[in-house]
Copies of this chain bind each other. A is one copy, B any other.
Amino acid sequence: METERPSALVFDVFGTVVDWRSSLIGELTEFGRRSGLDVDWAGLVDAWRAAYKPSMDRVRRGEQTWTPLDDLHRASLDRLLEERGLAGLAESDKRWINLGWHRLKPWPDSVPGITRLKQRYIVGPLSNGNVALLVDMARHSALPWDVVFGADLFRRYKPDPETYLGVARLLRLAPAQVMLVAAHNEDLAAARALGLKTGFVPRATEYGPLQKKDFAADQPWDVVARDMEHLAELMGA
């Protein structure tokens, strides 16, 4: 980095830090085997993720009052199960499936890379996930966060400015002292527009065969790394 170093690095989580698609497909395939259910679980997971952005956008546009991601996930899941004739699953199973987002597994480089970065920088998630989800995930996978920024702290979803600027305010830093790390160019563009620094890490298999974008940086972000360990190296950590 040629510019002044930030004091804090905050990380997009779904896709950037954790591999939601493989984690959920793996858990659900195993669940289907145990339960004797013949379901296209990959298709269900892809449809579930496809419902993610539209469900947040309804909140962002004010068509729905503030609703934490756990509840948006559950509403989408219920609809998708119903469409597949699975509405009769036990409530405890539905709740367990929905909490799969709390148990997502990190990409292999995430924990070692973030652990290195923590030696030098404040590290935390800045996620559309809610605090409870992010805390459970961190405990489940030993993500070494210093602080947890979930969307429910701000009652806003990214890319609303209140999220990025809320982090700077709570850390009592200028926006330029905070770097967003993400695998998504759009997230970084929103952060850069507000004065944050930006770090890109590609996750070319996030969406599996459905991936259409974010194979590479589409702007000259402040840092472009191969993965989180490479990011630590580039950031001098």
**Chain A, 28-73, CB within 8 A of any chain B CB:** 68, 70
A133 to chain B, nearest CB (A): 9
User: Contact between A172 and B139 (Cβ–Cβ < 8 Å)?
Assistant: no
| Chain B CB within 8 A of A152 CB | yes
| Chain B CB within 8 A of A153 CB | yes
Stretch of A86-94, A143-151, A201-209, A217-225 contacting B (4+ beta carbons < 8 Å): A143-151
Bound together, the chains give a CA A105 to CA B80 distance in angstroms of 52
A179 to chain B, nearest CB (A): 16
Which partner residue on chain B sits nearest A118 by CB separation? B139
B-chain residues with CB within 8 Å of residue A138 when the two chains form the complex: 146
Q: Number of contact residues on A: which range applies?
A: 10 to 19
| Chain B CB within 8 A of A131 CB | yes
**Chain A, 148-162, CB within 8 A of any chain B CB:** 148, 150, 152-153
B-chain residues with CB within 8 Å of residue A172 when the two chains form the complex: 68, 70, 130, 132
| Chain B CB within 8 A of A25 CB | no
User: Contact between A148 and B147 (Cβ–Cβ < 8 Å)?
Assistant: yes
B-chain residues with CB within 8 Å of residue A153 when the two chains form the complex: 153, 170
| Chain B CB within 8 A of A135 CB | yes
* CB within 8 Å for A150 and B170 given contacts A122-B139, A139-B122: yes
| Chain B CB within 8 A of A171 CB | yes
B-chain residues with CB within 8 Å of residue A132 when the two chains form the complex: 170-173
* A contact set with B: CB distance below 8 Å: 68, 70, 122, 130-132, 135, 138-139, 146-148, 150, 152-153, 170-173
Q: List 26 A-B contacts (CB under 8 A).
A: A68-B172, A70-B172, A122-B135, A122-B139, A130-B170, A130-B172, A131-B147, A131-B170, A131-B171, A132-B170, A132-B171, A132-B172, A132-B173, A135-B146, A135-B147, A135-B171, A138-B146, A139-B146, A146-B148, A147-B147, A147-B148, A148-B148, A150-B170, A152-B170, A153-B153, A153-B170
